[in-house]
Amino acid sequence: AQSVTQLGSHVSVSEGALVLLRCNYSSSVPPYLFWYVQYPNQGLQLLLKYTTGATLVKGINGFEAEFKKSETSFHLTKPSAHMSDAAEYFCAVSEGTGGGNKLTFGTGTQLKVEL
């Protein structure tokens, strides 16, 4: 079974500072990895995904993540935080179910951006 670990349930940064949200995964097969963001009272929105190819993946809103197989990591970064980035972020890994696509999520990291 696959699993995802997000280190740090809460991360606080200053506006303009680097954002780093950590994600480690466990998978017996080459993983497909996703980052989602959830704003208050909203569903999840895809930020970016890694499938194959280039290990540095760029997403929306200036976020990017790097797949490192040797470290089983897929950390999310943004060079300069903005107040609008305050939200909860979820890392996920996918596996097939025989039909459809099963996502296994981490417990989430709440990002707070301070002035």
Partner 1 sequence: ETGVTQTPRHLVMGMTNKKSLKCEQHLGHNAMYWYKQSAKKPLELMFVYNFKEQTENNSVPSRFSPECPNSSHLFLHLHTLQPEDSALYLCASSQGHSLVQEAFFGQGTRLTVV
Residues that bind partner 1 in the complex, under the rule CB under 8 A: 4, 32, 34, 36, 41-46, 49, 51-52, 90, 94-108
By beta-carbon proximity to partner 1, the closer residue of 20 and 46 is 46
In the complex, minimum distance from the CB of residue 36 to partner 1, in angstroms, rounded to a whole number: 8
SS3 62: helix
Minimum CB separation from partner 1 for residue 80, in Å? Answer: 26
Alpha-carbon gap, residue 88 to 69, rounded angstroms? 25
Task: Supply the minimum distance, in Å, between the C-beta of residue 78 and partner 1.
Answer: 19
| Nearer to partner 1 among residue 13 and residue 108 (C-beta) | 108
Neighbours of 5 (CB within 10 A): 14
Q: SS3 of 110, please?
A: strand
CA-angle at 76, arms to 83 and 61, nearest 5°: 45
| Minimum distance of partner 1 from residue 70's CB (angstroms) | 22
Amino acid identity of residue 22, one-letter, is: R
| Shorter beta-carbon distance to partner 1: residue 57 or 81 | 57
As separate numbers, helices (DSSP H) first and strands (DSSP E) second, the chain gives: 0, 12
